[in-house]
Chains A and B, each alone.
Chain A
Amino acid sequence: MMAAAGPSSARSLPQRRHADVCLIVEGCYPYVPGGVSAWIDWLMRTQPDKTFSIVVLWPRPTSQPPRYALPGNAVALDHLYLQDFGGRPSTRLDRGIETGALADALARFIAGGGIALLRAVMGEVARLRGRVSLEELFNSPLAWSLVQRNYATAMPFGSFLHYFWAWRALLGGLFATLEFPLPPASVYHTISTGYAGVLAARAGIETGRPVLLTEHGIYTNERRIELLMADWVADTIDKGHQLDDPRADLRDMWITAFEAYARTCYEGCSEVVTLFSDNQRAQRALGAERGKLKVIANGIDVARFRALPQAGPRDRPTVALIGRVVPIKDVKSFIGAARLLRARIPDLRALVIGPTDEDPGYFAECVELVEALGLGGCVEFTGTVNVVDIMPRIHVAVLTSLSESQPLVVLEAGAAGIPFVATDVGSCREIIEGRADESPPLGPGGIVTGLVAPAEIADAVARLLLDPALRLAYGDNLRQRVNRSYTSAAAAGTYDALYRELMARAADGGAPWPA
């Protein structure tokens, strides 16, 4: 589903051309390869009868080369720069422009979100726009009076320096999102919440066209993890042990704002799609109505794997972790499991298949661990190889990740009839054990384990390796499930139907495109 590598560029296309679907993507396509970008490329290529325009949300102009060539049915690609609040600062005093109402509207929107509050902000911005451009406003004494008002209500005891920059980043992104000229389209499809979600919600308000969200990872959770790991966000308020301290800190402000954006997006979308049902808990917690929620799983091209020969009972017993050697994949737990397994299966081969250059420090630690445990002849790092070539040698595939959304590797192994042992993250359980509403139930396609549990993983793998009948049965179950629910064709068909329905709704319900 990855785009073919080839000549690519965000080629200049005639702008303002009406498209069937406007995709709104934040921080991935077309500059970051793999993952969500690959999915976007797949989506457009599997809907050849529809035209797409793409709005790329990016921090600021970049010289990075695009990693994907635009497909032929893409009619426009526009950039929305979030952190490029240019404009030479103006020191002129404000011209008697009252910013109080805008400050209030912004403060309430950032704290709560929702369509009504977004409308209020849009109204205030529209009222001001006649007198001062947003860019001018953002670099003038007006902005100074705004930031002081917002600071006084949001976190008057926190670092003003941090607040100021956070405020500029948040508001700059929000203003850019409110100013951006929307490309004309029948359906607006955002691929995350965040600013992309706000832009989609705005599109819904302004055009009356249907708005659709496909959320891969939960945006607010990803930002939350980033903020927790960000050592540069000083904990400027010593909250001590008093957990109910009402004084807000910078992290709270960011998270509150991202949640507000998400709430706005969920409310503004008529369909909230995700890859697996576990994600829906987070979406519901931020106010997504149950009736809007949908699961459309990612699919793979099963034909690539269908005809692969399977590893036989006489081949050397082989277990494989297919993934990048990075901490989030918890390769060390896999190595630990290999040590326990080798005690029971002496000629075991444990492969780690995937690039090792992304986190050289972590890779070095893993190599050291293999040597320290005396697993030299057992654990092998293959580096980047084509999975199709290596699958016929694998008896059991393993995923020890600490976090995943919908790992394609489980589907790919399943399509090849290889049973899977995976940690209980993302949609692993759903793929391996089947969704609750699966009918008829196909039975397990592998075994789901806890996180960072080498012993449990070793037990599960041993069960499958030592019981060929069970292994074949689970492999077959997984293959059937993938063929039924996780094919690229099925996913493409679902989106085709969804787009058709929304486009029909746009045709008779939406407001005419404003000239």
Chain B
Amino acid sequence: MAGIGFELRKLARLETISSVAAAAGHAAIIAAGPWLFTIFSLASITMLAQPIIGLEVLATFRAVVIYAFAISLVTTAPVAMVATRLVADALWARRPGEVRGLLFGAYLWALAAVTVGLALVVAVLRPAQSLAMVLALMTASVALIWVTLSFCGAVRDYAGVTRAFLSGLLVALAATVAAAVAGFEAAGMACGFLAGLQIILIGLARRVLATFPQPIADPLAGARAILHGFAHYRHLALGALAGTIGVWIDKWMFWGSTESEAVAGGFLHSPIYDSAMFIASLAIIPSLAAFVVRLETDFFERYQHYYATIKSHGTLRQIETARVRLAGSTLDSLTLVTVAQAGICAVLVLAAPSIIELLGLQFRQVSILRYGALGVVFQFVFIACASMLLFFDRRPLYLAVQALFLALVAGLTAATLWLGEDYYGVGYFAACVIAGFVAYRVADSTFDRLNFLTFLGNNPSIEASTASRRRGLLARLSSRGRRTPGTAAPHASSTS
């Protein structure tokens, strides 16, 4: 029978992206959370321990914690992001047995990554040995926490995460303050803090291990899978790396500037910039929480409805209606939360002098706090819109906006350092404004062209046909000259 009818079946399948891409979107939101934990716990410890041990020891302790968090966040961001996506892929393909192996593999890569980061920092700053030791331990622990956290995100177990963090936070506060009361120096306090981190790590890991009880068959399979994942999801890995560096680069630049001081252990910090910016950053917590809640309820329902409409053979008009509903509700949510965010930040701007006074900071930090608070409004828009790109699997664009954010923060912070103290904080603010608008434009156009992107422009099935051609070319090249004997049966002429 001559003809190519039999090939049509394969074309009727839709390789869907929705369920796996969603996990990465969630992860992007959640990834913004960890460094907020840093700031919140440090602010609490500062307030609790300052009367007991004095500013200098506290500054050293704080520096150890901040360095541990900064190093681990930046170095593990690509690992956590790629692992999240691989977990989502494994769950989508109904292979939950791979999750433990991926967790173990992600641990290995995270530890390797923080080792490199630590080596650099220690080589450059040469801190005291006891502090270097506790910094290493803390960095490794925090790195494992971020990785485990991303696995919790993949299964969207927010309640378990919150419980682990709350109990760990309480233990950390209690142990650190107890160490301070007992007269231990910064390294001792850091060990107390480490105890709380271990509680968090164990709590999170228990959740993941309990959800995925299947044993690991090949101890290195997960690590190999993640290595492969770095290549396949390079946009995700690099985007997460750029985004995380973007969040820290302005602080690093201040640490390296004339505005920096060295604490007792040898760590650099910038008292005038750091504390003001950290307080401003806290203002994003309620908005992110509110946005995650909106995502979980309204958005996710409409998101799934959109893809379900396509898969259940809706007409183009029905698909378009679902798209309009999805786009409308998401923009509504974003607007609503942004307005609330603006309100919070307005309060922060107005109350800046009082806050500075209450926390015993310097008066010249008021304007930095104000710029930081204004920047946070746009940083929220940026984070929310960048996560939307991941929900619709626009990975190269995600990398592009994160790289833009990094470049803007770095470039404009350098400019403000050059311009002088009156402009401190303006660089970060301006970077957030520009990056926020760009991300919004890109997310908006994604919603506008969602039907085109889903079917054609961003459809992995269509890319796959390109890949098949490349494979075919390879196959043809490798089979050239190979001689295959005919396998026709001698009887075929009579029975065909």
Where the two chains meet, the residues of A that have a C-beta atom closer than 8 Å to any C-beta of B are: 1-9, 12, 25-28, 33-36, 38, 57-63, 65-69, 81-91, 139-141, 143-144, 147-148, 151-152, 156-162, 164-166, 168-169, 173, 191-192, 194-196, 216-217, 219, 222-223, 226-227, 230, 232-234, 236, 254, 322-324, 353-355, 384-387, 408-409, 412
Contacts and interface: CB of A to CB of B under 8 A. Distances in A.
B496 A38 contact: yes
A7 B485 contact: yes
B3 A219 contact: yes
Interface string B150-176: 000000000000000000000000000
Contacts of B484: 7-9, 65-66
Given A38-B496, A83-B11, A232-B9, A354 B491 contact: yes
Contacts of A385: 491
A7 B476 contact: no
A59 B5 CA distance: 10
A62 B472 contact: yes
B316 interface: yes
Given A34-B496, A35-B496, A161-B310, A58 B485 contact: no
Interface string B450-494: 011101111100110110110111011001101111111111111
Residue among B451, B462, B496 with max Cβ neighbours from chain A (10 Å): B496
A222 B462 contact: no
A9 B4 contact: no
Interface string B299-316: 000000000001101111
B491 A355 contact: yes
Contacts of A83: 4, 7, 11, 465
Given A26-B3, A36-B2, A89-B463, 15 more contacts: A1-B493, A4-B486, A12-B480, A34-B493, A35-B496, A38-B492, A61-B471, A62-B475, A86-B469, A87-B466, A166-B8, A227-B5, A355-B491, A384-B489, A387-B491
B496 A160 contact: no
B14 interface: yes
Contact of B494 (A25, A222, A236, A387): A387
B483 A160 contact: no
Contacts of B453: 91
B319 interface: yes
B313 to A, nearest CB: 3
7 closest cross-chain pairs (CB), A and B = A61-B472, A159-B313, A34-B496, A65-B484, A5-B486, A86-B469, A59-B7
B12 A232 contact: yes
Contacts of A58: 4
A12 B480 CA distance: 9
Given A161-B311, A165-B11, A2 B2 contact: no
Given A141-B452, A143-B456, A60 B486 contact: no
15 contacts: A7-B485, A28-B2, A33-B492, A59-B4, A60-B469, A68-B488, A82-B4, A86-B466, A156-B317, A160-B316, A160-B319, A161-B14, A217-B1, A217-B2, A387-B494
B133 to A, nearest CB: 50
Given A160-B315, A195-B4, A222-B3, A89 B11 contact: no
Contact of B482 (A2, A3, A9, A91): A9
B446 to A, nearest CB: 10
Contacts of B488: 2-3, 5, 33-34, 38, 67-68
A62 B4 CA distance: 14
Nearest to A144: B452
B495 interface: yes
Contacts of B472: 60-63, 81, 84
A141 B315 CA distance: 19
A9 B459 CA distance: 36
A8 to B, nearest CB: 5
Nearest to B452: A144
Interface in B406-460: 449, 451-453, 455-459
B5 A68 contact: no
Given A9-B482, A26-B3, A409-B494, A89 B313 contact: no
B314 A160 contact: yes
B462 A61 contact: no
Nearest to A36: B2
Contacts of A157: 315
Given A83-B11, A148-B316, A89 B458 contact: yes
A226 B491 contact: no
Contacts of A57: 4
B257 to A, nearest CB: 41
A471 to B, nearest CB: 21
Nearest to B459: A89
A67 B452 contact: no
A8 B316 contact: no
Nearest to A326: B495
A156 B3 contact: no
Contacts of A162: 12, 313
Contacts of A28: 1-2
A191 to B, nearest CB: 6
B496 to A, nearest CB: 4
Interface in B1-43: 1-9, 11-12, 14
Given A5-B486, A408-B494, A27 B4 contact: yes
A8 B3 contact: no
A409 B491 CA distance: 11
B464 to A, nearest CB: 10
B491 A165 contact: no
A436 to B, nearest CB: 28
B340 to A, nearest CB: 33
Nearest to A324: B495
